[in-house]
A and B are shown apart, each in its own frame.
Chain A
Amino acid sequence: MSAEAFSPPSFGRAVVRVFDLSLGEMLWSRRTLFMAVVAGGPVLIAVALRLAASSAAARFTGSAGGPSFALGGPDIFGLMIWAFYLRFTVPVLGVFYGTSLIADEVEDKTITYLFTRPIPRGAILVGKYLAYLACTSVVILPSVVVVYFSVVPLFGGSVGAGFPSLVADLGLIGLGLAVYGAAFAFVGARLRRPLLSGLLFIFGWEPVVVVVPGYMKNLTVAYYLQGLVPHAAPQDEAMTLLRSALRTFEPAPAAWICVLALVAIWVVTLGAAVRAVERREYVLER
């Protein structure tokens, strides 16, 4: 092949090549084992609930010092989505995968091999980011479906009636993965210790700021993500306490504001991440 005949691949083709390469790497990494454990927890709980309900064939009731309450299958599913996925799995996966997109390559000193390819640097980040989305979606979304079909039919719940909620939940989790991933991809591309910063953000900044009155909660992803949760929380006193422990901010902004804010965060942070990768000089430690 002559030098004149060679032309570098377009941005899109480069993204596809990086995606193809990165997806396999991510899927068969040790992180996936961690992700499988995180995603498998709710599934195990759901299956255990299903088995317990089948054997007991009784309503799931409890009390917390006040009036007793009962949960239906859709309520339990809503709480699981809320507590397990949106409050834990999505941000944690966003941190672990998002920060590693570039940082891992720097740490392993393999980024040079990528940057010396005749492809735009931004395409490397975008391709890896899409691979992260595919990798996490492949594990998380099926687990949500399994949990849904295990839990929702319990205690009089209807799979059909709750289907719109399932679709909304899947979309919400996908949106959460996309936004958290983009935000932490930027952190990973820009900061020296991205994982620590990311963990501080999701376990330090977000839980604290959302309970502080004022505008500070607007500087979190969780605030907007939680505003889109389609499940109304049960009204009982005990459940209100539980809800206040899980959802520590009131009132939630309107749905369109949440969507707009999340899209804005996604666009800005992903764009900033691409820009950072394209402009920054990564100095590899010897």
Chain B
Amino acid sequence: MTTRTCCVCLGAGGILAAGLVGGLAAYLQGGPAAAAQGRPDQFRYIPADAHLVAFADVRAVMTSDLRERLQERQPEDDRSDFESRTGIRMASDIDEALVCLAPDPSDAASLLVMLSGRFDQQRLEALAVENGGTVSEYDGHKIIATTIGDSRLAMAFVEPGVLAVGSEALVLGAIGLVDGGDNVTANARLMTLFSKVDPGSNAWAVGDLDRAGSGAWMPEGLDPRALRVTAFSVAGRVNGGVRLTLQVETPDEAASQNLRDILQGFLALARMQADAQPEIAAILDSVQLRAAPEEYVVSLSMTLPTATVEWLWDQALEGAGGAGSVEPSLPRPSPGPEDPAPDRGGTTPPG
């Protein structure tokens, strides 16, 4: 090998090595966390046997252009009621919300909500006590519990700025996980689903419906076993407009095909009825239905521009009778810069 050939090879190798070393260094400095799909910190309070986990980057949603537009259309009274009672301003005080459903032998509800942000702890505890809550202590944490119907509900601050609300057993379990232990990250099934969540999503949910009782939360008539659905993940990016992606897993190829046919049928039916409603037709046109028969997965995605979401919001308010003054509006050209984006390198990139 001549000297100049050797120099070229060394130079190219140097560029390659420098790039790989630089990328690896950046990855080790924060990439793994990002590559771990921006796992919420509150994952460590979620029990390993959870069968559904949902997350919302409340701060991102509340500071989005879409939310500001919708807020202008919402009655002022509705906005201030929650704030006046709890002292929590949704727009600025809550950063993230994590919800899980998990088996709980003592409580059929078995729901746990983890909220992180800035809370007036004393005010919230006083409010809970005023509403019949009883104060106790567990593992150094103040628990305020109450009974509603057959369910025992509780709330506790597991750490400053992190509030756990829900089934008493799950709240106690969350406190038990403060010092470590098997949490939902040890649940391989949910983590696999989680890894498929659309990148850049600021709200998502994953659910394992393959276990007995795991679909009990679903509305009556939507039995996952009857539909032959074993798992799902749904993700949304809210900013400017809304981009939604739903992935449903089935046990075999036939079930996958059947589910796709059912969804196609619904879409066709909806399109037939949407002729007189251009807004609905626009929504349906944005729907993309895909099937990966080899993986037994059916996915459905849609992108709703801001104007379409505003129209839907107006319809919802009119339906609720709360916005008589709202002018009916047609979808307008999207404002552009804040429309839903793929954002592979966004704030919660997947691993």
Using CB atoms and an 8 Å cutoff, list the residues of chain A in contact with chain B. 20, 23-24, 27-28, 59, 61, 63, 66-75, 78, 134, 137-139, 141-142, 145-146, 148-149, 152, 155-164, 166-167, 170, 231-232, 234-237, 239-240, 250-251, 253-254
Chain B contact patch, size range? 35 or more
A141-B12, A148-B23, A159-B26 known; A24+B1 contact, CB < 8 A: yes
Would A149 and B243 count as touching, CB distance under 8 A? no
Using CB atoms and an 8 Å cutoff, list the residues of chain B in contact with chain A. 1-2, 4-5, 8-9, 12-13, 15-16, 18-20, 22-31, 34-35, 198-200, 241, 243, 245, 286, 288, 290-295, 301, 303, 305, 334, 336-337, 339-346, 349, 351
Instruction: Please indicate the chain B residues that have their CB under 8 angstroms from the CB of A254 in the complex.
Output: 294-295
In the complex, residue of chain A having the shortest beta-carbon distance to the beta carbon of B28: A160
Would B301 and A68 count as touching, CB distance under 8 A? no
Tell me the smallest distance from the CB of B34 to a CB of chain A, in Å. Answer: 4
Tell me the smallest distance from the CB of A142 to a CB of chain B, in Å. Answer: 4
Assembled-state Cα–Cα distance A159/B28 (Å)? 11
The main secondary structure of chain B at its interface with chain A is mixed
Would B19 and A232 count as touching, CB distance under 8 A? no
Instruction: Please indicate the chain B residues that have their CB under 8 angstroms from the CB of A239 in the complex.
Output: 342
Would A149 and B19 count as touching, CB distance under 8 A? yes
Would A145 and B336 count as touching, CB distance under 8 A? no
Would A235 and B301 count as touching, CB distance under 8 A? yes
In the complex, residue of chain B having the shortest beta-carbon distance to the beta carbon of A165: B344
Assembled-state Cα–Cα distance A265/B341 (Å)? 38
Q: List 28 A-B contacts (CB under 8 A).
A: A20-B1, A61-B337, A68-B339, A71-B341, A72-B343, A74-B345, A78-B344, A137-B12, A138-B8, A138-B13, A139-B12, A146-B15, A146-B19, A149-B22, A159-B23, A160-B29, A160-B31, A161-B31, A161-B34, A162-B344, A163-B31, A166-B20, A232-B344, A236-B303, A237-B286, A237-B288, A237-B303, A254-B294
Tell me the smallest distance from the CB of B245 to a CB of chain A, in Å. Answer: 7
Instruction: Please indicate the chain B residues that have their CB under 8 angstroms from the CB of A74 in the complex.
Output: 344-345, 349
Which of A23, A70, A137, A160 is within 8 Å of B23, CB to CB?
Answer: A160
